[in-house]
Structure 1
Amino acid sequence: MLFNFASPQEAVRSASEAARTTCQVSTVLTACADLARALLAALSGASKACVLAHQSAAPGPGAGKGAVQVLSGAFEAFGATDTFRDAVLHAANLGGDSDVTAAVCGQLAGAFYGANAIPRAWREALLRAQLIESFADRLLARALERLG
């Protein structure tokens, strides 16, 4: 998604297409598009209300319900808190697929609050942190190049 930051429409499309490799259910693809739109808004400096307004997928019957519930929980936790730490912990304590919900919430909170908002102890405990940071820096550099 970040690689296509210069083209929001392409970023949203590529997010849905990446999910399509494992699931073709329309509600899942919509949830992925919603997350991409929310991340784009957060990375662009939008207000929290604007970021939260990008959730359109609603849990329905059948396949894909879990993915939509994960996204709903991530949005709930992000909206109910004021820090990266509190958002992720809130998401992790919702139950269900709490690990996935916390990971998705971490994406939202990280895009909104920035990497420095992640508690230092959490960053220091991250395995292969230098590799991850190096990859993120290169990805960001490529995205900025594409912005022109």
Structure 2
Amino acid sequence: MRGSRGRSGLSSEMDWPPAEMDYNVKGYDKYHHMIQYAQVGEDKTIKVCRCWQSKRFPYCDDTHKVLIEAGDNVGPFVAKIQGKPKVQNVAANALQIRSHLPRQAAFFTLGFCSVGLASSVALARSRGWKSRVEISGF
């Protein structure tokens, strides 16, 4: 009962390719499960055969090039698998930022005090007061 359709209109079996156009002359299984992994930080390319003529089926071995010369332009499906990015130590980045914090705080305080002192001297001069600095003990 190949290609019979149920109430939903969908085929109960795989009806592609039609029997008169079956490229699977070597009798390979129609479904394959391929599990591939890429190493950390590495990209991997897998070529999956679509011409059904590969000696390493379901993997492509470039047999389709002979078919292209005969007029059938079919090539492999190329799957590009990306590996996970390398893991970064974010705690070390936070520690590096924290090590710069005391120096930044000291410079901020020094700048803030300098601006405050300059502002108070400018205010005193605008009111007519004279600033006098005495150093004793020399």
Bigger Rg, structure 1 or 2? 2
Structure richer in helix, relative to its length = 1
Structure richer in strand, relative to its length = 2
Report the TM-score, using the length of structure 2 for normalisation. Answer: 0.21
